[in-house]
A and B are shown apart, each in its own frame.
Chain A
Amino acid sequence: MENKRIISYCKAINEALYQEMERDERIFVYGLDVADHKRTFGSGEGLLERFGPKRYFSTPLSEDAMMGLGGGGAVAGLRPINVHIRVDFLLLSMNQLANMIAPIRYGSDGKLSVPLVIRAIIGRGWGQGFQHSKTLQSVFAHIPGLKVVMPTTPYDAKGLLISAIRDNNPVLILEHRLLYWQKGRVPEEPFTVPLGQANVLRPGTDITIAATSWMNVEAYTAARIMEKRSVDVEIIDIRSIAPLDDKLVTESAIKTGHLIVADYDWINCGLSAEITARVYEKCMHQLKSPITRIGFAPTPCPTTRPLENLFYPGAETLVRVIEQKLGLERADLSEEEFFSYENKFRGPF
């Protein structure tokens, strides 16, 4: 059946939760304020009404204990979904994640499994500042026993979430707030996107951008601009941070000869270094230019807009890097349209 239905990323998450909770009574959703009138930016709409407060509830502001509740509930037989409205707040649960949830299966010789899903939202725009904007995927992906995904498209938002819920391991899903408005084709019936696979978001022949989360949107804009100059950009959405699929990006880098890793995070000791190292290990001498890494400025995220603009790399950054790598002249981009969250979102938060 051809799929023509267009829905938002937010609706895709909501639909996955609804359908999975219908399917499996052991699934419950909980976290700070999930049951308030805003329902986690709308992603939890209708769940309280359909499934009641037993399976959809707000908790005390106790991230540490609530993550432990997920661990204990999961080993005892439930399938918890713990929601954090910002990745920054998830850090309060880091002890549970790193010391209990991720290693307990190994430490119990496989007797205990933790089928726990953690959803955490990445903030950006209208002055989110240095405590509402973190992503930290490399920090989480560093820990053995934890799976980490970052869906970009509405299709993946639904498919990866359903896979995460059905997986018998702890899975962290990092959802970008600005992606909540992204629209795309999503089948109505439940489906899965396997964890651990990258995806060709845009096929191309001249240069590869391997991107995570929101950087895929920026890469798309860059590709549109470069297309006018007859440069065909291939975009690989990394999608799964742990396990990391380095095969697809390596193949693409060999094909185009040029690779830019655009990670939506800081560069230092980050995912971009991991991807770069893995690609070099496999095909260093087949590349036409050294791999370029793009990420946040090495600072805390500033609040004021002019500095925030400098903090985040975007499509323009990518265009300039592509020009350098391919030896092209610096184009005039003054007529190009770049993303501005004000088109979608005006404060106050």
Chain B
Amino acid sequence: MPKLLLDLYKKMYLIREAEAEIRREYNNDEMKTPMHMSLGSEAIVVGVCHALPESNHVYGTYRSHALYLALTGETDKFFAEMYGKATGCAKGKAGSMHLSSPEHGLMATSAVVATTIPWALGDAFQAVYSNINRITAVFFGDGATDEGVFWETLNAACLMKLPILFVCEDNGLAIHTSTEQRRGYDSLTDIVKKFRCNVLEGTGNDVVEVYAMANKTINYIITDKKPSFLCLKYYRYLEHVGVNEDFNAGYRSREELLKWLEKDPLYIHRLKLTDLGYTDEVEEIEKQIREQVLASRIKAQEAPFPDKDELMKGVFYGE
């Protein structure tokens, strides 16, 4: 149990610290890639990813720093990609919005809302087609459920009984427009429950709770042979895109943030660990990660940009 709790904390702290480093450095204008920060959603991503079997495949969105870091645990290629360097996970061709690491199961992330959702359909179809035991997880925001392709995919996944874990990271905002301003219905999960899938919902602050819910819903996929839909609420701490707060914009109040900060995923999980007497272990984790992140950021800054001939490489297979 302590190992699990520490592992979860380590993954969350890596995300928090890597993004803190981005926030410290972003204004130097060396990371020329639009940042959609994960701040606030760490427990959802870590809780779900930690519960996924080793052979998982995962798809995400343009807000996937957390997903990349939770699945890979590495920061060298991550920061190099932010700086557009040859040592980045896609040699700078992807940037913050298209992080991927297929070798770690992170297949693709996409900046056009909802576009990776049907890829999870195909991915899970392949697993069943080829008799492979695999869960395909796809992360998306509540804004993606406004898109037709979300419903097309949900319908097909339920029809075809595919092993997909739909993870809706519900922050109540699509860009700057609230759920109430976008929906002609009251409850997303009430509607999804009409489909032939398992539906679980909750709040995504406590990583242990999320981990337990994810395990439960993954078991449903395996035993019931049908998709699961996990809807978890969280609060987006920062602006839609960028590294700053935007409470001066007037569409939401800072009081909301303060309320959510009382149950901040890192804060409450750290408290749990120190209450259990793991203060030394926690501090050691934090120290190691701070060193890792700083070293990766400096390495990325010093790394070369891709060669000119890299421009034409990789459009087609065989090039």
Closest to A100 in B: B115
A204 to B119 Cα, complex, angstroms:
49
Which A residues have a C-beta under 8 Å from some C-beta of B? 26, 28, 54, 59-60, 62, 64-78, 80, 95-96, 99-100, 104-113, 115, 144-145, 147, 167-169
Known contacts A78-B129, A99-B110, A111-B100, A106 near B119 by CB under 8 Å:
no
Residues from chain A with a CB closer than 8 A to the CB of B314 are: 105-106, 109-110
Known contacts A54-B129, A62-B152, A95-B112, A108 near B102 by CB under 8 Å:
yes
6 pairs across A/B with beta carbons < 8 Å? Answer: A62-B149, A75-B108, A95-B115, A107-B100, A108-B90, A108-B108
Q: Is B56 an interface residue (CB 8 A)?
A: no
Closest to B316 in A: A169
Band of interface residues on B = 35 or more
Closest 7 CB pairs of A and B: A68-B118, A72-B122, A72-B119, A73-B122, A65-B152, A62-B152, A168-B317
Q: Let me know if B117 and A109 touch, CB within 8 A.
A: no
A74 to B126 Cα, complex, angstroms:
8
Q: Is B94 an interface residue (CB 8 A)?
A: yes
Taking the closest CB of chain A, its distance from the CB of B197, in whole angstroms, is 15
Known contacts A54-B129, A73-B125, A60 near B317 by CB under 8 Å:
no
Q: Let me know if B156 and A60 touch, CB within 8 A.
A: yes
Q: Is B236 an interface residue (CB 8 A)?
A: no
A110 to B312 Cα, complex, angstroms:
12
Q: Let me know if B315 and A105 touch, CB within 8 A.
A: yes
Extra A-B contacts (20), CB below 8 Å, given A68-B116, A168-B318 = A26-B130, A59-B156, A60-B155, A62-B153, A62-B155, A64-B152, A65-B117, A67-B118, A68-B122, A68-B153, A69-B122, A70-B122, A72-B59, A72-B120, A72-B121, A75-B119, A76-B126, A105-B316, A109-B89, A109-B91
A256 to B73 Cα, complex, angstroms:
64
A68 to B127 Cα, complex, angstroms:
15
Taking the closest CB of chain A, its distance from the CB of B291, in whole angstroms, is 28
Q: Let me know if B108 and A104 touch, CB within 8 A.
A: yes
Q: Is B98 an interface residue (CB 8 A)?
A: yes
